[in-house]
Amino acid sequence: MTAWLLGAGLTVAVAQPAPNTSNRLSLEQCVDIAVKNNIQVRLGQLTIENTDLQLRQSRNNLLPTASFVANQSLSGGGRQIDPFTNAVIPQSTVNTSNYGLSGGFTIFNGFFLRNTVKQNDLALQASQKELAATQNTVALNVVQQYLNVLTGQEQLIVAQQQAAATQAQLDRTQRLVNAGSVPEANLFEVRAQLANDEVAIVNAQNQIDLAKLALLQAMNLPLGQPIDVVSVAVPDPSVAPYEATPQQIYEIALDNMPDVQGAELRVKSAVAGVQAARANFYPILSVNGNLNTLFTSTATRTTSIDTTNISLQPSGQFVILNNERLPVVSPIPRSTRAQVPYVDQLTNNLNRSATLSLRVPIVNGFQARNRVGVAKIQQLNAQLQAENIRLQLRQNIETAYTNMRASANRYRATQASVVSLERAFQVAESRLNAGAINATDYNVAKSNIDRARASLVQAKYDYVFRTKILDFYQNKPLSF
């Protein structure tokens, strides 16, 4: 007994009486291949990855922000503005470097960021449940197609057995005709019945081919690939009737079905969205810090003063001495200037600042109110969708339970019909061999038992599928 666990808790266990070959697949393998290849499942996986990225980003938004800016400028031609003194200088080329480091942190914003994280986290969980629901749908489709293949194979066996019985009767009739015990017309009618049985074999094989095609398509595999399935054991409803009631099944399904769980998570996510939207009514308190520094090629400083060699500079003023007008001069010592070093400029020009800001919303065109209104509508929409999913679940369970009861009754009735018709056919065969009835009456009896046997096969696997649907709703293993 092997078991395979799907993401939603759907378990498939299949008895394997024979080892698998390269093209012989169990139900477990078929479901595994279908889930792996299904496009809707892969789209659901991409949705989960996208939602997970949104959740990570919302968590990262809780962290402080920091940025570094560096600007390098080179200007020349004509007079320039000295970035160091803001004076006009005749220098033709000015080289300037600016560096800035800024950071900020939101202290309070109405819990918008935290509610956004909560909303995205619940949305991620909902996407995971919805993916599990998609996987379950794929698995149930594979189960149905798998049972259709088994139905066709068993109907083919029945048709071959019917043809073999007709061939044996044809041989007996031929001997009786040769012996003169029955008319030759009986031989023609048995041959006609054998031809009908051969047509039934062809039809059964065609049904198998169509069922295998549907199974391959459910697994998203090409038609040219050969495939065979493992036979399963079928329970008898007369021996072990289904015990759970629709209400019991529904109550269990509410706690286990991933689509219901996903819908409830969507509602919780929408509630968190409303709380996040309400943050627009609250003030925002944040703190920011900045570090800035500057380097310029125009920054110079005096490096040495020569007091022994002093020059005189006119001041533009005059004095009268001995009736002589003399200019006033000031002594200027000779000095040497050099550019301030790069590192010294960055250190000396370092500027620090910190800002605590508070933004209080007063009037913003009713944007906050409208955003809350939209979020509430989304919440109501999620609630209605969840209610609709629960309603559909109840109706599906009630329909599946009714179909199961009908299948069980049809299976039991068909079993009884087969038993009766087999006895009638045995009597007709004995009477035909004894010459008491003609071949027409024999063919009627044989056609009746043939149809009953084919109906029994169909009813049997239909009952199996109906019971497995109910098992699925109760989170039971789909075991055969």
Q: Which CATH class is domain 65-106+284-299+340-360?
A: mainly beta
Are the C-beta atoms of residues 281 and 110 closer than 8 Å to each other? yes
Count Cβ atoms below 10 Å from residue 394 Cβ, excluding itself: 16
Measured CA angle at 266 (ends 143, 112), to 5 deg: 150
CA distance 281 to 271: 17
Query: Looking at the whole model, is its pTM more than 0.95?
Result: no
Q: What is the pLDDT of residue 341?
A: 87
Does domain 24-63+109-282+361-474 bear CATH number 1.20.1600.10? yes
Tokens of 78: 């004509």
The CATH 1.20.1600.10 portion of the chain extends over 24-63+109-282+361-474
Measured CA angle at 366 (ends 362, 368), to 5 deg: 80
Place of tokens 């202290």: 107
Per-residue pLDDT tens over the stretch 467-476: 888 988 988 7
Q: What is the pLDDT of residue 17?
A: 35
All residue ranges of the chain with pLDDT < 70 are: 1-23, 76-87, 90-92, 232-240, 302-316, 331-335, 477-480
Per-residue pLDDT tens over the stretch 395-428: 999 999 999 999 889 988 999 999 999 899 889 8
The CATH 2.20.200 portion of the chain extends over 65-106+284-299+340-360
Count Cβ atoms below 10 Å from residue 105 Cβ, excluding itself: 14
Q: What is the pLDDT of residue 475?
A: 83
3-state secondary structure the chain: CEEEECCCCCEEEECCCCCCCCCEECHHHHHHHHHHHCHHHHHHHHHHHHHHHHHHHHHHCCCCEEEEEEEEEEEECCCEECCCCCCEECCCEEEEEEEEEEEEEEEECCCHHHHHHHHHHHHHHHHHHHHHHHHHHHHHHHHHHHHHHHHHHHHHHHHHHHHHHHHHHHHHHHHHHHHCCCCHHHHHHHHHHHHHHHHHHHHHHHHHHHHHHHHHHHCCCCCCCCCEECCCCCCCCCCCCCCCCHHHHHHHHHHHCHHHHHHHHHHHHHHHHHHHHHHHHCCEEEEEEEEEEEEECCCEEEEEEEEEEEEEEEEEEEEEECCEEEEEEEEEEEEEEEECCHHHHHHHCCEEEEEEEEECCCCCCCHHHHHHHHHHHHHHHHHHHHHHHHHHHHHHHHHHHHHHHHHHHHHHHHHHHHHHHHHHHHHHHHHHHHCCCCHHHHHHHHHHHHHHHHHHHHHHHHHHHHHHHHHHHCCCCEEC
